[in-house]
């Protein structure tokens, strides 16, 4: 067990407890919230909740159990495809059921583990358990990811993602028919107030922008092409659910279970189709594309047959 005891700096007076502890101790906001939820922080002897505000000259005490960093376990993953490989980076087609990197509570396969199992050496930049990872896809989302192999690629690709210079094109099948057929959803996304596993459109969330175009309208669903301007966790799933058009099969965000069963879907119909960026080595613009995996292609065939 580790403990810290310190006065509240003037600059953090009025801050929420979770945000202040994250800044003071170098934790993520999520880790700070977990400490608070466990009753591990107090101000002048009074136990803090994560939404409590700190006050100047208060005495803050924090106690927590350090977590062991997850380790990368080399593994062979069926369906894991290498789309492109060079000295700076590797582009992969991630199958469903594979996480980007190891994480507490996840004991399934990871992109880094699959690359290690295939003999790839990845950039050492970033935290040890996510070295080389410059962006992520949900476990239940398949498609293209780029992973840095060189240090210059890691730095440059992280910058491009941060500065919104990367083209991220997804295809999604959503329930119903969005109106208008093409449009932009500009709505902030934050953690869901009632669930630690979900996200939602919230007034205090981070700016989030999703552009979509209809590719094909079917009787009960629509195939969309989606361009992400920002890259929030679950962004497409949250934005489409907020429009009352959740991704088919996405039971976490309100999709119809009977439709998912009829389509044979065990996850959301969402696939990262194209990825474009400036190559960190040559400086040239490159773009990669992929195809639908079998489960999504089958579901689309069923919808078209209707």
Residues assigned a catalytic role: 138
Distant-in-sequence contacts of 251-254, Cβ < 8 A, 24+ apart: 252/197, 252/198, 253/198
| 242's tokens | 């907020």
Closest by CA to 276, choosing from 134, 160, 114, is 160
Task: Show the 3-state SS of 81-96.
Answer: EEEEECCCEEEEEECC
Q: What separation, in Å, do the N-terminal and C-terminal C-alpha atoms of the chain show?
A: 59
**What are the two backbone dihedrals, phi and then psi, of residue 215, each rounded to the nearest 5 degrees?**
-95, -35
Do residues 260 and 131 make contact, with C-beta atoms less than 8 angstroms apart?
Answer: no
Contacts of 299 (CB under 8 A, 6+ apart): 173, 248, 249, 263, 264, 265, 269
Distance separating alpha carbons of residues 5 and 184, to the nearest angstrom: 47
Cβ-proximal residues to 132 (8 Å cutoff; 6+ apart), any chain: 112, 122, 123, 124, 125, 126, 147, 148, 149, 154
């Amino acid at each position: 067990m580790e403990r810290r005891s310190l006065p509240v700096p003037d600059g953090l007076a009025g801050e929420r407890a979770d945000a202040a502890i994250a800044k003071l101790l170098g934790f993520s906001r999520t880790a700070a919230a977990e400490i608070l939820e466990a009753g591990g922080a107090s101000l002048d002897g009074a136990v803090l909740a994560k939404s409590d505000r700190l006050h100047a000259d208060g005495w803050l005490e924090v106690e927590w159990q350090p977590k062991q960093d997850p380790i990368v376990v080399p593994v062979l993953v069926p369906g894991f495809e290498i789309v492109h490989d060079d000295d700076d980076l590797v582009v992969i087609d991630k199958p469903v059921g594979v996480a980007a990197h190891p994480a507490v509570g996840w004991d399934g396969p990871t992109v880094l583990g699959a690359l290690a199992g295939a003999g790839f050496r990845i950039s050492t930049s970033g935290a040890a358990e996510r070295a080389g990872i410059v962006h992520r896809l949900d476990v239940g989302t398949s498609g293209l990811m780029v992973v840095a192999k060189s240090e210059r690629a890691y730095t440059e690709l992280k910058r491009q993602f941060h500065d919104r210079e990367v083209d991220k094109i997804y295809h999604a099948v959503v329930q119903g028919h969005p109106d208008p057929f093409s449009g932009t959803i500009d709505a902030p996304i934050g953690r869901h107030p009632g669930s630690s596993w979900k996200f939602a459109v919230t007034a205090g969330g981070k700016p989030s922008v999703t552009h979509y175009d209809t590719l094909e309208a079917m009787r009960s669903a629509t195939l969309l092409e989606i361009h992400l301007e920002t890259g929030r966790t679950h962004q497409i799933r949250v934005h489409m659910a907020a429009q009352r058009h959740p991704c088919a099969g996405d039971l976490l965000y309100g999709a119809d279970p009977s439709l998912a069963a009829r389509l044979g879907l065990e996850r959301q119909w969402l696939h990262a189709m194209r990825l474009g960026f400036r190559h960190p080595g040559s400086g040239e613009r490159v773009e990669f594309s992929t195809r639908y995996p079998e489960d999504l292609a089958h579901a689309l065939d069923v919808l078209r047959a209707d």
